[in-house]
Amino acid sequence: MTNEEKGMGKGLLIGIFTGVAVGTVIGLLYAPKSGKKLRRDIKTKSQDLVDDADEYISNAKKKASQLINDVKKKSEVLVSDAKEMIDALLDESEKILNDAKSRVENYIETGKGNLENESNPFKNHK
């Protein structure tokens, strides 16, 4: 999630809570109640909002923690798979290199043998 998306999500959350709080207070202020009862209702509603916010934050933390753990597990699997692929590629590369070395050595030996065979008639003419 980018910083911009985090900021938008945070702004949306703050906007929702602010809207609920303002709506509740306005609703209570226009309700026909006594001052004492109104203050008690405001206190109750504000505590309910705080409790709801705490619950929301707690759930968000749990989900974020779970998401982080899932991402860690998936990344560990990806890293492990990548290491296995690299090891397999290295093994295959080593086989190809050894095969190439063997072929070159065979060509060199064959070339030396051919060169000796070709040079023998010249040695005999001395």
Return per-residue pLDDT of the chain as tens, 126 residues: 566 666 667 777 788 878 887 887 777 677 666 777 877 877 888 888 888 888 888 888 899 899 999 999 999 999 999 999 999 999 999 999 999 999 999 988 888 887 777 776 655 555
- As a whole number of angstroms, the distance between CA 108 and CA 115 comes to 10
**What is the dihedral sign for C-alpha 46, 49, 51, 57?**
negative
| Cβ(41)–Cβ(28) below 8 Å | yes
What pTM, to 2 d.p., does this model score? Answer: 0.45
- Residue 102: what pLDDT? 92
- As a whole number of angstroms, the distance between CA 56 and CA 25 comes to 21
Q: Is 14 exposed, middle or buried (0-12, 13-18, 19+ CB in 10 A)?
A: exposed
- Residue 70: what pLDDT? 93
Residues 6 or more apart from 46 whose CB is under 8 A from it? 21, 24
Q: How far separated are the first and last CA of the chain, in Å rounded?
A: 87
